[in-house]
Amino acid sequence: MSTKRKVLLGIGAYLGLIVVLFLILGDEGKNEAFQPQNEFELTPWIAINIGGLDLSINKAVFYLFLASGLTIGTMVFIARRMQQEPNRVQTAVELAYDLTRNNITQGNITDQRLAKRWFPFLAGLFFFLWFSNMIGFLPLPINTEHKVDVFGVEIPSLAFYAATANLSIPLVLTLIVWVSYHVEGIRAKGFFPYLASWLPPGLEDMNIFGKAFFFVIESISHFARLISLSVRLFANILAGHLLLLFMGGGLAVLLGIAALGIATFPLAFVFFILEVGLIATLQAFIFSTLTAIYLSGAVAAEH
């Protein structure tokens, strides 16, 4: 048998299995009790309400504290026991440190003093987002809706969630970045010269109305950064989690076609590798790189 025929036979058998399962099972996959979309619902664990403000502890808060704890813990742990001959973990952390220092910070900020001042913030942002994205792909016992009985102790079942898959956390980080690059620009140039530096170069001879028109456009682009920076991170992680959810069985449950599950389940593995291997790191990298670019753009002498 040639290779081509073997491959065709394999695909045929796989498709045949789906058709047979569909004929046997039909609509039996329908399951109203299990709602896969509840993955993104934030049920309060410890309800805290202060003056109408909902400050409840829920799984997003848990993931936030976990990511910060991991970031601080790993870095302090590695820094405490630095060795002359680095072991594997130290080498990996040193590589990541190198990436944040040389590529993200100094690659985008040419002013050495500015780079030195903002390096801790940029590196902290990178590591926090990286840990926050990565633990989003670890199944943790956070699903309080469905409990599992383990030796008489009721523990929540395993589920996925990521703090960055909730718009509020990227938005707060973006606001910090947005305010700090404006403050840095005003500190470097003064208030009105900083606003004037938004105008693209080559407009010096233009009359006041033309300049005002360009100023409005540039202001809109500065406010659009608020949306683009936060939604980029949020939507990437949310879409990744939605893909994993739907491919890993959610689609079959929602539509009530059990046979669909066997077609989508292998795809879940492919997307999992893509998300963990590329998207989680890339989004953390992009967020901190863009922060560095905005910072150096605000301080740069001209565009």
Partner 1 sequence: MDLLIPLAQAAQGVTDTGVTDAGKAIALGVGAGLGSIGAGIGIGIIFGKEIESVARQPEMKDELQQIRWLGFALTEAVAFYTFIFGLIAFFL
- Chain residues in the site for partner 1 (CB under 8 A): 103, 107, 228, 231-232, 234-236, 238-239, 254-257, 282-283, 285-286, 289
Q: Which residue, 114 or 257, has its beta carbon nearer to partner 1?
A: 257
- In the complex, the smallest distance separating the C-beta of residue 122 from partner 1, rounded to whole angstroms, is 15
Nearer to partner 1 by Cβ, of 186 and 286: the residue is: 286
Closest CB to partner 1 among residues 148, 255: 255
Q: Which is nearer to partner 1, 45 or 137 (CB)?
A: 137
CB of 13: closest distance to partner 1 in angstroms?
A: 26
Least distance in angstroms from the C-beta of 76 to partner 1: 29
Nearer to partner 1, 235 or 300 (CB): 235
Output the DSSP codes for the chain: --HHHHHHHHHHHHHHHHHHHHHHHTTTT--SS--GGGGG----SB--EETTEE--B-HHHHHHHHHHHHHHHHHHHHHHT--SS--HHHHHHHHHHHIIIIIIIITT---HHHHHHHHHHHHHHHHHHHHHHHGGGS-EEEEEEEEEEETTEEEEEEE---GGGSTHHHHHHHHHHHHHHHHHHHHHH-HHHHHHTTSPTT-TTS-HHHHHHHHHHHHHHHHHHHHHHHHHHHHHHHHHHHHHHIIIIIHHHHHT-TTHHHHHHHHHHHHHHHIIIIIHHHHHHHHHHHHHHHHHHHHSS--
Q: How far is the CB of 274 from partner 1 (least distance, A)?
A: 12
**CB 145, min distance to partner 1, A:** 20
